[in-house]
Amino acid sequence: MNIRRRTFLAQSAAALLSAASGLALAAGEPANTPGARPHIKVGGSQGASSSVMAAALKLAAQELGTADAEFAAMAQPLALLGLRNGNVQTAFLSWANFAQNQEQGVQAVAIAPAWASHASFLVRPDAPFKTVADLAGKRVGSSPRTTGVYSEGAAALADQGLNIDKDLRMSPMDQSPVLVALFKKGEFDALLVSEPAVSILLASGAARELLQVGSYEASRHGGRYTPVNSWGLRKDWLDHQDKAAMMRLFTRASEIAKTRKEPFAEAAKLGGLDARTSELYRERFSKLIVPRFTDENLADSQTLMDQALKDGLIKSKHNVTDFVVRA
């Protein structure tokens, strides 16, 4: 079975981060004053899943009283760079990102999981397609090739005997509003995009879903969701903190995002989502949030790291367990 896995901005981010390695290495000391309550900036894209998780971290910090937290909105490659140079204390990293950091001289660790794949294949409501197999030879607009959305979609197609680059007519682009507008105009037969764009299109009635990648992968693992992104921290920053308290904080944040409405309400304000769309987004995305690492989901995650090596995104073999902070 030819299973391609998550690259999550790996090629573009790797180039950007490699160019900035000097900055990263110069920023090894934590910014927090010794003895003070840590102030944690969460780097991520506004209106994306990272804003939900950042809102949950703020709630967890208030509940536990062990830190202060805020959301620093920025494009994902800048969030990865910000983690390296100390401008943010946490960002959402794929397994390939952890390996790339190590290979470039910066040790980042996964203190808690975040989410399984939230990529989906969508078609217009009146389209004749019933399964993704029906998309063979069709025009598909998608997120860029360097994103996890693309590679996760490729993996789901490969499981069903389709090569995303050979069997479909893919049109990747990095401008989501343009992508959606072209889809609505009929320029594409289908879309491969992520949340919350998926929920926006479904709530408006502009699309229907053929396949949700994270749920599809879970169906192959007895209902177990595979974390494709984790809360990433610089190890040297974490070494200056109460590690047990930080583990409780970030684990609690994922639990809050999975079970409570408030993080989605705050994210909806940032993203301009109406109440109906926000509720649909919460219903869909919350089930994909993975609150804890287990031996089983880490074994599933290892396949992502192994695929990153096969794809040439990392230079050598890595074990995901080497990056995970465990009690």
What pLDDT does 32 receive?
Answer: 54
* Shared-domain flag, residues 72 and 209: no
pLDDT at 270: 85
Q: How far apart are CA 68 and CA 66, in angstroms?
A: 7
CATH value at residue 308: 3.40.190.10
Q: Tally the residues of the chain.
A: 327
39/92 same-domain check: yes
Percent of the residues in the chain that have a pLDDT greater than 90, as a whole number: 69
Q: Is the pLDDT of residue 303 over 90?
A: no
The number of distinct structural domains making up the chain is 2
Distances (CA, A) of 108 to 26, 37, 184, 276: 15, 21, 41, 38
Global pTM reads 0.84
In a domain, 29, yes or no: no
Q: Is residue 283 exposed (0-12), middle (13-18) or buried (19+ Cβ within 10 Å)?
A: exposed
The reported pLDDT for the residue numbered 146 is: 67
Residues 251/326, Cβ–Cβ less than 8 Å: no
The string of pLDDT tens digits covering residues 213-222 is 999 999 989 9
Answer yes or no: do 16 and 69 share one domain: yes
Please identify, among 205, 220, 235, the residue that sits at the C-terminal boundary of a domain: 220
What are the tens digits of pLDDT across the range 14-38? Answer: 444 444 444 333 344 444 555 679 9
- Domain termination residue (choose one: 177, 204, 220): 220
Banded model confidence at residue 113, pLDDT cuts 50, 70, 90: very high
